[in-house]
Amino acid sequence: METLVAAHRTLPFQTMVRVRNLTNDKTVDVRIIDRGPFVDGRIIDLSHEAAKEIGLIGPGIGQVELTVLAPPLIPEPGLFAVQVGVFREKVNADRETQAMNVYGGAVSVMRPGIPPVWRVLAGRENSQEAAENLAARIRSEQNVPEAFVVRLDPQDVGK
């Protein structure tokens, strides 16, 4: 929380990004180290320290502009999936994982926390565009309006 880091749905881990608050023109440089945000319409989750630097602690959210400063030194595999849900109960995540296997496989990934939650990721696409197409198909066929594209992280690729 007290370092200059952030979460993004698709940028590779270790990517350096400049975030500019469009309200006050303050900027902060952060490293992508996590996945998120998992709220529709939001593009980045900043650490407490990063949000403080650009004046977003009070409002909590704001209009920002992202500029990629540097890609990671060791690129991750470019695989993408569609997040179709987050579940507090593993049994529910397992049930959704089984239902989503028809879309090229699905995995349930535990996200530590209190309580932990399980993210269900469907498909395994080689491009973000292909994953966007899969997300549209899942939203339509399965009535999952909150489905969105995420990058598969190295620990998820082998699953």
pLDDT digits (tens, 9 = 90+) for 38-65: 777 899 999 999 999 999 998 888 999 9
Q: What is residue 107's predicted lDDT score, i.e. its pLDDT?
A: 94
Residue 120: name the closest of 101, 96, 104 by CA. Answer: 96
Is 119 in contact with 108 (CB distance < 8 Å)?
Answer: yes
CATH architecture label of 80-157: 2-Layer Sandwich (3.30)
Report the alpha-carbon distance of residue 139 to residue 146 in Å, rounded. Answer: 8
pLDDT digits (tens, 9 = 90+) for 90-135: 999 999 999 999 998 999 999 888 889 999 999 999 998 999 999 9
Question: Under 8 Å CB-to-CB from 16, ≥6 apart: which residues?
Answer: 29, 30, 31, 32, 68, 69, 70
Report the alpha-carbon distance of residue 122 to residue 99 in Å, rounded. Answer: 10
For the chain, the domains span 5-70, 80-157
For residue 32, is it left (φ>0), alpha (ψ between -120 and 50) or beta?
Answer: beta
| This prediction's pTM | 0.70
What are the DSSP calls for 97-134, one per residue? HHHHGGGT-EEEEEE-SSS-EEEEEEEEESSHHHHHHH
Statement: 5-70 belongs to CATH 3.30.530.20: no
DSSP 61: -
